[in-house]
Structure 1
Amino acid sequence: MSDTGGWNGPDQPGYPGPAFPPPPVSPQPGVIPLRPLGVGEILDGAFATMRRHPGLVFGFSALVAVIGAVADFALTRSLLGGVRTLQPLGPAATQQEQLAWFSETLRQTAVAGGITFVVGLLTSTFLSGFMTIVVGKAVLGRRVELREVLAELKPRLLPLLGLTVLYMLIVGVATVFFIVPGVWLYVLFALAAPALVLEQSGIGTAFGRSRLLVQGSWWRVFGILLLTGLVTILVTGIIEVPFGLGLGRDSELAQYLGQAVSSTIVAPFAAGASALLYIDQRMRREGMDIQLTRAAAAGQ
């Protein structure tokens, strides 16, 4: 393991082999003890990473969230100015006029949704990769520098974006036709992104790694993902509700501002919890706690 190298998989040099009995007292050089984690330790580890590196995490997260919110707001306003001028048709409108009005409203609404989706996809992918690298260093108690994190993230960014799009397509198609297989695939491949970033693997390999790590622990991974999602929804609602309470003509702008603020806090937590869940599964299934302990002791 190195600062720039991936977290070696089972078929890569440096992998310690099968799991060994843990030492009587688990070392904790960073945000988590180096042993298989409990659910609370995973969530607390995500918060601990944010607390230990507040300037880096919240500063970068706020920058990404504000850029995303401004881009979303500006593009939506510029491309959808006409939607605000569309007036409901009266009872005397012909069927053709009603159909034309409905089609235009639907088109502009779809454009707005598409813009929001693309901007959100880009910002969430960027921040997810960033936080995964930060967590990887924080677990070992290493000093985290913005320049180093960005240098490691740069070659992984496009593959991570491709993986994220493919993951959403797989889950989306499966969910549309069969809800249960959609949920199953969502959990089965939930650890692909951390695997791609930390192991520096390809997209196909990352999906395979996630499948292997989740196999046999599907319900546990599902429960942790569900709990993480509930926490993010709760915190998001608490933050965004005050911004949406009657600010008159500026209510739309306030809504975007609320989304930026909530994303600054919630997105790093969700990404950090996902990365720690990946690390936990590797410690449970592959004895990675031994490898991490050696790396932390050697200061690599």
Structure 2
Amino acid sequence: MNDSPGWASPGSAPSDGQDDAAVPRPTPPGDANGSTSQWSETQPPAGQWQPPTAPVHGAPQPAPARAHGGPGWGGQAPHGPWGLPPAAKPGVIPLRPLTLGEILDGAVTTLRRYWQTVLTVSVAVAVVMQIAEILTQRYLMPAAPVINPDASPAEALDQLGETMRISMIRMGPAYVIMVAATLISAALLTVVISRAVLGSPVTLGTAWREARPRLLQLLGLTLLVPLIGAAVMFVGTLPGLLLGGPAGVSLAVLGGACAFAVVVWLTIRFSLASPALMLERQGVIKAMKRSAKLVQGSWWRIFGITMLTQLLIVVVAMLVAIPFTVIALSVAGNGLSDLLDGTVPEKSWSFLVITGIGGVLTSALTYPISAGVSVLLYIDQRIRREALDLELGRAAGLPGYGG
């Protein structure tokens, strides 16, 4: 154990250039006579542990591969959901490799069980973000361009360019606000969720003290990953842009599609870098390498869970935002007819305030779920690769997991 928030033991991680099979395992709990033994260098694949056989009188007792179920676990132990053996559950997740449902349930349970700390973080961040966004929309953002449906091809091309320019101007402040909100909420919620795994509540002050020293490095990570993605997209589309003409357009589209696939691959590859940086106190580059090592061999699984989570977040956001948008249009304009006509009163105070309230509620619900899935995916990968469940059991003070 090191001095990471609540728990972490990256010293034996295979991301330091070692082979997974050669990683030294933690010393498991001893047998009834008090003796202990080291982990074998050859370990079964994650999630395929077998209960120990009945002991032979007078023979030395091997240590169990996992301390699931605490002392006395053995023989034909009953199996839990999905054929997995029952495991200790000091906090919001059982201490074994997690299923998709357990990852989502752990994120929601953290929100429900520690709602005071979690909602204090997410609501405070969301309120500041929405106030900044309302002021930006009111005073800084240019008005949306008016599209003329009867324009000539040349005029339509000019309108498209103007629309893209204004969209970039409008997205810039929103992106800066989103990065700041995501940074603070992710840092604080990562600490809260790491304690929730152990069943230990954490106050907002404690979470801030533990997260504050990592904010600058987390900011660098938050900016570096999108910057790498933008560079990949630029390189992919540059040959087509330089060529010009119809062939250049086709080449740019093809290069952009290939570059987008690379960006998605890199995004998932580095998706666990943020919890690695926060919980293992890694630097930016080391956290990215750590994430790449943990994701290796599980890219499609992490991609599927991440995409499903984002889909659920979009659905929740729509369910919350649509009623507030309808109310805002009814108060500030002529209802849905304004939305259909493209004349949304986006600079009206009443419209901005009402939609801002909807944005606060949306962010308060989605921030904890997004952060929770990310942290629990990281924990799940370390349990599968590094027997982190034993470290967590010891950190939670469970019997049968050692001192």
Given the superposition, is the C-alpha separation of residues 15 and 63 from structure 1 closer, same or farther in structure 2, using an over 3 Å criterion? farther
Deviation at 1:105, TM superposition (A): 6.2
1:276 to 357, 361, 376: 376
Amino acid at match of 1:260: V
> Which one has more relative contact order, counting CA pairs under 8 Å at least 6 apart?
1
Instruction: Determine if contact 2:272/2:374 at 8 Å carries over to the other structure.
Output: yes
* Alignment TM-score, normalising by the size of structure 2: 0.66
Is 1:149 paired with 2:149?
Answer: no
**What residue in structure 2 maps to residue 217 of structure 1?**
298
For 1:83 and 1:59, the matched residues in 2 are separated by: 34
Partners of 2:90 and 2:396 within 8 A in 1: yes
Q: Does 1:50 align with 2:111?
A: yes
Could you say which residue in structure 1 is the equivalent of 2:219?
A: 161
In 1, the alpha carbon distance for the partners of 2:268 and 2:148 equals 46
Q: Cα distance, 1:11 vs. partner? A: 4.4
Correspondent of 1:247 among 319, 323, 330: 330
Compared CA separation, residues 149 and 258, structure 1 to 2 (3 A) = same
Partner Cα distance (2:150, 2:395) in 1 = 74
Q: Name stretches of at least 5 consecutive residues in structure 2 with no aligned partner.
A: 14-23, 28-38, 44-63, 70-86, 234-255, 333-349
Q: CA RMSD in A?
A: 2.9
Q: Give the secondary structure class of the aligned counterpart of 1:144.
A: coil
Encode CA deviations 1:112-169: one digit per residue, 9 max, x unaligned. Answer: 2101110011101110111111111111111211111000110111110110111122
Helix, strand or coil at the partner of 1:142 = coil
Q: Write the deviation string for residues 58-95 of structure 1: whole angstroms up to 9, x where unpaired.
A: 12211100100100110221113x527x7778999xx9
The structure with more helix, counted as a fraction of residues: 1
Pick from 94, 100, 103 the counterpart of residue 39 of structure 1: 100
1:62/1:15 Cα in 2 relative to 1: closer, same or farther (>3 Å)? farther
- State the distance in 2 between where 1:10 and 1:207 align: 16
Give structure 1 stretches of 5+ with no counterpart: none
Choose from 11, 17, 26 the match for 1:16: 26
The residue number in structure 2 matching 1:233 is: 314
Aligned equivalents of 1:207, 1:89: Cα separation in 2: 47
Where 1:297 maps in the other structure, the secondary structure is coil
Seen in structure 2, the aligned counterparts of structure 1 residues 255 and 16 have a Cα distance that, compared at 3 Å, is same
1:111 aligned to 2:176?
A: no
Amino acid at match of 2:363: S
Deviations 1:214-237 (A, max 9, x none): 001111111111111111111111
Q: Which residue of 2 aligns with 1:174?
A: 232
Q: Identify the range of structure 1 (42-51 vs 245-254) with the bigger mean alpha-carbon deviation.
A: 245-254
Give the TM-score normalised by structure 1: 0.87
Which stretch shifts more, 62-71 or 290-299?
290-299
State the aligned residue count.
293
- Quick check: 2:4–2:280 contact (8 Å CA) kept in 1? no
